[in-house]
């Protein structure tokens, strides 16, 4: 009986330590405040000036890169070697974009983007992000464009005539 209770206690401790580590990892990759002096590594604009559009990548080393728009965030991701000499894709902890309709941060990899809509970001057409496919589709029905997942926003989509191209 004592051995069984001890085994259950050890299993509970192991489970708690696993949960604690998972929570700490999630917190480590939380969105970071964007300083007024921070500049987008792609175009040099100030992301803090565009809270409805800015995006952010949080790296595993605790650093982050902020962008004035999802379009520049995608440009960065599609060609990291050009814009960041310190990090590679494996260094990314989490990617965030603002919820266009409700505000607040979304996990970019789970968000739905609208490409080619009438929505004007800091430098022209951009990629408004939504938490659900239904919200993105509803927006695209009113404002034009096509609903895409994170993985569907390819370099060709970013550099098409539907969004600003550097």
6 membership: H or E segment, kind and range: helix 2-28
Q: Is the pLDDT of residue 25 over 70?
A: no
Indicate the SS3 state at residue 116: coil
Which two structure tokens, joined as six digits, stand for 64?
A: 């982050």
Q: Is residue 27 predicted with pLDDT exceeding 80?
A: no
Confidence at residue 5, expressed as pLDDT on a 0 to 100 scale = 60
Note the pLDDT tens digit of each residue in 49-80. Answer: 999 999 999 999 999 999 999 999 999 999 99
**Alpha-carbon gap, residue 53 to 147, rounded angstroms:** 17
- In the chain, at which residue ranges do the beta strands (DSSP E only) sit? 55-59, 64-67, 92-98, 105-107, 112-115, 120-121, 124-125, 129-130, 146-149
């Amino acid at each position: 009986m004592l051995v069984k209770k001890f085994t259950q206690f050890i299993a509970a401790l192991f489970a708690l330590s696993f949960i604690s580590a998972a929570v700490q990892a999630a917190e480590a990759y939380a969105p970071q405040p964007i300083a007024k002096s921070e500049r987008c590594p792609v175009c040099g604009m100030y992301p803090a000036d565009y809270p409805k559009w800015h995006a952010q990548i949080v790296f595993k080393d605790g650093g982050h890169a902020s962008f004035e728009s999802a379009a520049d965030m995608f440009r960065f991701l599609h060609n990291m070697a050009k814009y960041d000499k310190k990090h590679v894709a494996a260094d990314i902890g989490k990617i965030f974009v603002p919820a266009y309709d409700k505000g607040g941060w979304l996990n970019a990899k789970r968000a739905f983007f609208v490409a080619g809509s009438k929505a004007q970001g800091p430098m022209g057409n951009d990629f408004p992000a939504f938490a659900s496919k239904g919200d993105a589709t509803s927006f695209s029905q009113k404002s034009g464009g096509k609903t895409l997942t994170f993985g569907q926003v390819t370099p060709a989509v970013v550099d098409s005539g539907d969004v600003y191209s550097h």
